Amino acid sequence: MPLRSDPLDRLAIPDGTTVEERDLVTAGDVVIGGQSTVEFGVRGRGVVAGERVTFGGDIEAEADCRLDMWCDVAGNVLVGEDAYIGERTHIGGQLMVSGDLDIGDDVDIDRGFEANGWIVIRNPMPTITFFFVYLSHLLRIGEEEAAQSAANELLGDEEEEGTDASDADTDASDADTDAEDDESTDEAEGPRPLVIPRGATVSDDAWRVSTPATVGDGCRIHGNLRAADLDVGEDNNVFGSLRAKGDITVGEGTRIHGDVTTRKGTVRIAPGAEVLGDVACEDLSLHDDAAVDGAIRARGEMSIVREFARELE
């Protein structure tokens, strides 16, 4: 059953994410929605990609790697544990798997593959598999409502849900409890995942999504950021401009090497932040310890503030 909506509805770049040469590097997992293009190589703890995702370099996963059908990887795929490769996927280099390999029909690997564990070649159900991987990641990051909604969409219609209302309430309560436990466990175990929504384009030129976007702290990002709303955290270096339809927040100590532009929203610039370009917006809230090197154009209200509270959704 195809998914009618992607439960991963925002670009989320976790703390410490960097672009090193031609690789996108993060300490946690990487989750990429279907029909996206990532022109970088990817390095993370685990890598999960939906159908028809294109990678412009190597994939290096310390743990598992799961690629859905019709994916295209320009370089090598190196996996520290188990790998799942969906049917009709193309890998331009080698596939090296330290654990088990589950591989679909008609997979094209230019330079061969090697696995230290079991090798299973079969015709998989990529959408269903990717769906349950999505659910596990949603619960790990505390998005229990999105997980419940996606599960209801897959498992039954409204009438069946009404018949089993009491069971659903019990399950939802259990899911809430489990999600809280998973979230606290996830915080204790390691960093949050890097999430790229469906249909995104990520490259040296631009990160383009139609959803809101959040950048954590201490990141080094190459490329212009384009999103519905943008919240950029503290102590980041963004080598590109910021553009959004709605609000943009630039966190404390962050440096933007480009313009900051929004059509209808408010731009908020924190103390110690620096914009090496122009700022154009509806309303502007600028801390008096922030710096803008270019021109400032605010169609509405412009205020210089001494106190700054970062607004998070």
Within the chain, what is the greatest distance between any pair of CA atoms?
64
**Cα separation, 182 vs 176, whole angstroms:** 10
Q: Which two tokens stand for residue 157?
A: 């219609």
Cβ atoms 287, 273 nearer than 8 A? yes
Residue 231: count other Cβ atoms within 10 Å of its Cβ: 22
pLDDT of 306 = 80
**Cα separation, 85 vs 103, whole angstroms:** 5
Q: Rounded to two decimals, what is the model's pTM? A: 0.78
The H or E element spanning position 203 is none
Cβ atoms 40, 202 nearer than 8 A? yes
Cβ atoms 66, 50 nearer than 8 A? no
Per-residue pLDDT of the chain (313 residues; tens, 9 = 90+): 344 444 578 999 999 999 988 899 999 999 999 999 999 999 999 999 999 999 999 999 999 999 999 999 999 999 999 999 999 999 999 999 999 999 998 999 999 999 999 998 876 445 556 666 667 767 777 777 777 776 776 665 444 444 444 444 444 445 454 545 544 444 445 789 999 999 999 999 999 999 999 999 999 999 999 999 999 999 999 999 999 999 999 999 999 999 999 989 999 999 999 999 999 999 999 999 999 999 999 999 999 888 766 554 4
**Cα separation, 269 vs 310, whole angstroms:** 9
Cβ atoms 287, 270 nearer than 8 A? yes
pLDDT of 300 = 93
**Residue 189 CA: distances (Å) to CA of 13, 103, 141, 185, 218:** 18, 29, 12, 6, 19
Q: Which two tokens stand for residue 241?
A: 């401009």
pLDDT of 131 = 67
pLDDT of 248 = 98
| Of the candidates 71, 112, 109, 66, the residue with the CA atom closest to the CA atom of residue 89 | 71
pLDDT of 9 = 86
The residue to which tokens 């090697």 are assigned: 114
One-character DSSP codes across 121-165: E----HHHHHHHHHHHHHHHTT-HHHHHHHHHHHH--HHHHHHTH
| Of the candidates 65, 30, 58, the residue with the CA atom closest to the CA atom of residue 44 | 30
pLDDT of 310 = 58
